[in-house]
A and B are shown apart, each in its own frame.
Chain A
């Protein structure tokens, strides 16, 4: 479970996220949507322990990220929009490295399953510069899933994947949620959010604009009834597209 209370992050005088609170239950997929600069990536980075929030409290599976960072980080995985890989480690060694970081006892078995699931078995001795963009993304995801995290955060997870890869990735995300992981997914692809997410969090300029299922959001804005998530999104963030 992911619990966030009063999360605020300032960059100097600029307020990136303001007093954000929400909870993601095990098995739930929460969609984080908003226009550019809404604070989605800052929120995810704060939840992953990459940046320190200015104020607020974050708990991952009951472990406070501030007072018990190792306990919390050991149970989460963050997959960024751009795969961060080490140029001089092979695909297999990336997984060995991550296994040691998270002390995964049955790493060899899990490694095989993940490489097979993500179609990387034949590239196990390849270095990242020899991989395509999509393969790099798959490797980053494999690294994130190796320690079976209970909290998963994806930032634009489908970037660079081909249609088959997209289908497999959606299945991978849903499988983890069904296995009991709390998942947060940030994306501009609203059809993806609509398809995968059980709830949605809409951000604008660091502020929470709306939260809940599509039905719950429409309850508060009856004039949006019958509209698609895209129309609802545009209405909520107050920006209009081309006619």
Chain B
């Protein structure tokens, strides 16, 4: 009986949610946005329909790359200190389902089934984004490979969260209940340490003139690294296949891996009850922060002083900037800064021991990561209206000009995003200091770095205004809150990032024209250094654009009716 009830809940919720979204399309702005989005997806699918393989990209290398990425993701899942949101049920689900005569296993199956909605949507989007016909692999086969990969990752995250929760709740006894798992974890850890040492020695042995690609390949092909990567390669192989026959050969292994994960999760139902309820209540507390009946201290959170004290007198709008920066640093301080320190230490060590190929690989990775941060960072750092829409009623009652609220909200995210990007770029540049590129001498690199310092904050400010503008214009479509989804929401994130980049490109037209004009005028006197006044000029133009945009968005913010816009207050 419970299956029927849970099925009803799942399907009826899905239907009602779809209808609710469809009703929003009666508003012209939602309808236009949907049409633009669909048109964009169709364009992507058409452009990607012809078979093409990037130059130098072999199936093996692609498989290795995906496997490496999966390894990092899984490692992060296990070492991440915070409890995983992946276990959380909604408050209503906890209230109705937990006391109901439903087995925990049925509840877990319901949870897994519910996640399939997002995974399937993400799969479709990724098929469109990545291209339907890379090589000879048909789109449906690629879709199945993606679905299998996403589901396996999702199951792994659930299993990891359950295991970690069990260990936290029951200490070593919790782990001792799973001797096989404990053994696997111990072997994986030993293998990881051995693989790191072996990869390091491989890198040390490389000739100094080796390319970054050769360095990465040498590190990943070290025997212990290869053993560590083997299960990840099994999961990645169907996606990297270029032919139907290769897909047919690799798919059973990927499905077997998925089945193993399913068994792992479904057999963890003893740990499930406490962990899921705990995670659900924690999420409810974080998101709603209003219905908790008794004091619930959070031992993971320490009181730390804000970076800058807030004086009681001065422009009121700056209080919003202070609030947002303080909140984000408190939330992400440990994780973010430990990551930054690790990367910094690694880069400096590599650079200092005089390994040009490894230093070049590290520098290139840092710059690539900086590039990713440029495109995806605005979605990761969201301590602005995308979070504060949950407090819209409170914000609206403050005596602060609407456009100033929008500017300060966007500036808070832009400051932190700029600091993150510049840290990555400067560390990358540091690692590449001793590498000589004839096409890009050191003076040019210095000029580029200085130009980036001048222009990136302005670009991020406009970019964050665009992100906040989307939240104000389409509050029904924007996820309110700081939490990011897992891999199952990557498709939507990628699509949003592409739309964001397109909007940002339009915003950059005038500043780029201005910058080119300044370079043309000053190049005769300043040479390559003309890039600096050009960067400054374009930054000023961007700030002016941002100012105008914030004035308009201020009127949108002022008109936004929380109930009719579908904004739920915290």
Question: Which residues of chain A have a CB within 8 Å of any CB of chain B?
Answer: 11-12, 45, 48-52, 69-71, 73-74, 76-78, 80, 82-90, 93, 96-97, 99-105, 107-108, 125, 127-133, 135-136
Q: How far is the CA of A226 from the CA of B559 in the complex (A)?
A: 47
Q: 16 more A-B contacts (CB under 8 A) besides A82-B569, A97-B323, A136-B289?
A: A11-B561, A48-B397, A51-B563, A52-B561, A69-B399, A70-B401, A82-B290, A97-B310, A97-B322, A100-B310, A100-B312, A101-B398, A104-B312, A129-B298, A130-B298, A132-B294
Inter-subunit contact B570/A101 (CB<8 Å): no
- Given the known interface contacts A100-B319, A132-B295, the answer about A105 and B399 at a Cβ–Cβ threshold of 8 Å is no
Inter-subunit contact A101/B319 (CB<8 Å): yes
Inter-subunit contact B314/A128 (CB<8 Å): no
B558 — which chain A residues lie within 8 A by C-beta? 52
- Given the known interface contacts A84-B570, A101-B319, the answer about A125 and B303 at a Cβ–Cβ threshold of 8 Å is yes
Question: CB of B316 within 8 A of chain A?
Answer: yes
Inter-subunit contact B312/A87 (CB<8 Å): no
Question: CB of B318 within 8 A of chain A?
Answer: yes
Name the residue of chain B whose CB is nearest to the CB of A125.
B303
Question: CB of B192 within 8 A of chain A?
Answer: no
B301 — which chain A residues lie within 8 A by C-beta? 127
Instruction: Give chain B nearest CB distance to A90 CB in angstroms.
Output: 6
Inter-subunit contact B298/A127 (CB<8 Å): yes
Pick from A49, A70, A87: contact of B289, CB below 8 A.
A87
Inter-subunit contact A88/B398 (CB<8 Å): no
Inter-subunit contact B314/A103 (CB<8 Å): yes
B564 — which chain A residues lie within 8 A by C-beta? 11-12
Interface bin, chain B: 35 or more
A73 — which chain B residues lie within 8 A by C-beta? 397-399
Question: CB of B394 within 8 A of chain A?
Answer: yes
Q: How far is the CA of A131 from the CA of B297 in the complex (A)?
A: 8
Give the residues from 516 to 570 in chain B that come closer than 8 angstroms, CB to CB, to chain A.
558-559, 561-564, 569-570
Inter-subunit contact B294/A50 (CB<8 Å): no
Inter-subunit contact A74/B399 (CB<8 Å): yes
Inter-subunit contact B326/A100 (CB<8 Å): no
- Given the known interface contacts A74-B399, A133-B292, the answer about A88 and B331 at a Cβ–Cβ threshold of 8 Å is yes
Q: How far is the CA of A74 from the CA of B306 in the complex (A)?
A: 26
Pick from B298, B306, B392, B562: contact of A93, CB below 8 A.
B306
A135 — which chain B residues lie within 8 A by C-beta? 295
Inter-subunit contact B561/A130 (CB<8 Å): no
Select the residue from B401, B561, B562 with max chain A CB neighbours within 10 A. B561
Inter-subunit contact B316/A101 (CB<8 Å): yes
- Given the known interface contacts A129-B289, A131-B295, the answer about A50 and B396 at a Cβ–Cβ threshold of 8 Å is yes
Name the residue of chain B whose CB is nearest to the CB of A127.
B301
Q: How far is the CA of A87 from the CA of B570 in the complex (A)?
A: 10
Encode contact with A along B283-325: 1 for CB under 8 Å, 0 otherwise.
0011001111111111001010010001111101011001100
A97 — which chain B residues lie within 8 A by C-beta? 310, 319, 322-323
Name the residue of chain A whose CB is nearest to the CB of B396.
A50
Instruction: Give chain B nearest CB distance to A48 CB in angstroms.
Output: 5
B400 — which chain A residues lie within 8 A by C-beta? 70, 101
Listed by A's residue number, 16 A-B pairs whose Cβ atoms lie within 8 Å are A50-B392, A52-B558, A52-B559, A73-B399, A83-B290, A84-B391, A86-B327, A87-B286, A88-B326, A89-B327, A96-B312, A100-B312, A104-B312, A108-B312, A131-B295, A133-B293
Instruction: Give chain B nearest CB distance to A89 CB in angstroms.
Output: 6
- Given the known interface contacts A97-B310, A99-B312, A105-B312, the answer about A84 and B296 at a Cβ–Cβ threshold of 8 Å is no
Select the residue from A49, A86, A90 with max chain B CB neighbours within 10 A. A86
- Given the known interface contacts A45-B393, A49-B396, A86-B327, the answer about A100 and B314 at a Cβ–Cβ threshold of 8 Å is yes
Q: How far is the CA of A80 from the CA of B392 in the complex (A)?
A: 12
Question: CB of B217 within 8 A of chain A?
Answer: no
Instruction: Give chain A nearest CB distance to B316 CB in angstroms.
Output: 5
